[in-house]
Structure 1
Amino acid sequence: MASESPINLIRSMKQQGLSNRDIIQNLTRQGFSNTQIFDALNHIDTKNAVESSPTSLTSYPPNFENNNKQNVQSSPPPPSFQAEATNNMTNFNPKTEELIETIIDEKWEELIKDINKVIDWKNRSERRIQELEVQVKNLKKSFEDLHNAVIGKVSEYDKHILDVGSEIKAMEKVFSKVLPRFTENVHELSRITDKFNKQDKI
């Protein structure tokens, strides 16, 4: 922010024919605050109003003071320039009103921009939250599908193991019935073989 008063700059711009709005925009870009600009414009307008007031005093005859001293003393004093300046500072002129309106418009535009930024941020956040919710739902569904698939495979493996166990038990039962006969037949075959071997030796 600029530290010096922009009074001289404002006078130069006014001489160039720039309006108060253009002056405010130029000074704002140069780093002056609204307070500095307002005070400088008000100072220039007040000084111009004072300088435009009549400054010539009324002439009186030479002996007017001596002859009419009592009347002069009893008459109310004329309004001072300071009172006129104060009155001019108190009552806003159209230029000052234009300056105030310009500052208000600028502040209002800045406020609207800030509000729009907040609204945009809110909309982006809501969209992001919705996207995250969809991603979480999809991830949850994927986990559920994976869990169901694993449970299904385990159940299928258990069923296969039970089937294999049943088949093994069935084979054990078959072998338990067949094996004694098979052993008996082997022994019978051995006896027959031994008998034939003995006959061949005789």
Structure 2
Amino acid sequence: MTENVDNSSAVLLCVTKAYKDSLNCNREASYADSRRKIIIPLKLDRNIELDGWLESIVEGKRCYEFYDSKSVKETVSELDKELISLGVQKNRDISSANIGQPLDTLRVDEVCSWLKGIEIDSAIIETFRENCVSGDDLTQITYDELIGEDFELRPLDAGKIIKKRDACFNATQSNAVTPDGRPLRAGTGRAGASKGKSAQAI
């Protein structure tokens, strides 16, 4: 636990009731605070208050709310900006995080390569592989599906994938054409057709 904190540039606290009740989470957050690490609280439950042992740790810090699926993309964008401003994360052109072709034409293995290119955890990539997510599926998948039972992703990971997907798809779709010069039609597939057992992001 202490080694992970020592090797980190910032610590994100994903606050739920279980998190608040966990002695280990208490110890880890307190240790991060004692080491003067950058701490950013993420509130995953509308009804959770940042009080008790959390209060002194998060006092004066901006809390990002990830329980509203309608605004999660904007929240991820704002969090990205803070991490960049703190020097924790590099500023990259997210539209460049693709492999040079329209997203809805990618095969399953190419989708996995795209996810790796945007620095998605390997466990999540394996979940996409198990669910046979093609590029066509990727352009149709929703935030709610990613945090649902087929994928069980954390809100931060789901929001990042949706944000990167939308930016890449819009950039390629605006100029993409078929071999005979017609505009490329957006995919109509539905993600998650195969009910593979999902792996939890870590």
The TM-score range, normalised by the shorter chain, is under 0.3
Max Rg structure: 1
- More strand by percentage: 2
Considering fraction of residues, name the structure with more helix: 1
